[in-house]
């Protein structure tokens, strides 16, 4: 098994890729399987959230690139900044992790939350996409989404 022990800064050529959903990218200790089938263990500093494109290294110099896995997300696109801000407020009030982009928000799919936003007049589309939410005020913590 390859033990990945540190996060690297800068651009380097990876030896392998590791595709993980958000629930796994927030863990500092994890057993996983590289996309090429080799076993790996993550032994990272606590409190880190792995992002798409991050590079990890083993003691022996193996470099692994993190790939954010496609997940079932709800996507809301809207040109009305006030309505989108209102949606963010209500989702944030429920401690929902949000990926925020200009004119668009995404969260891990939850039909109750979808119905709430539809009640505001927003259109919610369920799709498969990588999910990389805001890390929050402390930079490395992603709140867990509450399931309703």
Provide the token pair at 72: 């079932």
Res. 113: pLDDT tops 70? yes
pLDDT category of residue 109 using cuts at 50, 70 and 90: very high
pLDDT category of residue 146 using cuts at 50, 70 and 90: very low
Terminal-to-terminal C-alpha distance of the chain = 38
Higher pLDDT, 10 or 77: 77
Residue 118 CB-half CA count within 13 A? 10
Closest CA to 99 of 78, 63, 59, 130: 130
Res. 145: pLDDT tops 50? no
pLDDT category of residue 135 using cuts at 50, 70 and 90: confident
Burial 2-41 (b: 16+ CB within 10 A, else e): bebeeeeeeeeebbbebbbebeebbeeebebebeeeeebe
- The 3-class secondary structure across 53-93, one letter per residue, is CCEEEECCCCEEEEEECEEEEEEEECCCHHHHHHHHHHHHH
Distance (Å, rounded) from C-alpha 53 to C-alpha 51?
6
Distance (Å, rounded) from C-alpha 54 to C-alpha 48?
11
Higher pLDDT, 148 or 66: 66
């Amino acid at each position: 098994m390859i033990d990945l022990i540190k996060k690297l800064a800068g651009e380097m050529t990876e030896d392998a890729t590791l595709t993980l959903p958000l629930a796994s990218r927030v863990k500092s200790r994890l057993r996983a399987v590289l996309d090429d089938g080799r076993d790996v263990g993550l032994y990272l500093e606590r409190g880190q959230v792995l992002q798409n494109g991050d590079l990890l290294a083993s003691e022996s110099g193996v470099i692994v690139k993190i790939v954010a896995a496609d997940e079932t997300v709800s996507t809301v696109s809207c040109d009305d900044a006030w309505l989108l801000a209102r949606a963010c407020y209500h989702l944030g009030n429920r401690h929902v992790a949000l990926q925020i982009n200009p004119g668009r928000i995404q969260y891990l799919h939850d039909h109750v939350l979808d119905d709430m936003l539809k009640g505001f007049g927003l259109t919610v589309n369920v799709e498969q996409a990588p999910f990389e939410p805001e890390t929050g005020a402390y930079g490395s913590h992603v709140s867990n989404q509450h399931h309703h």
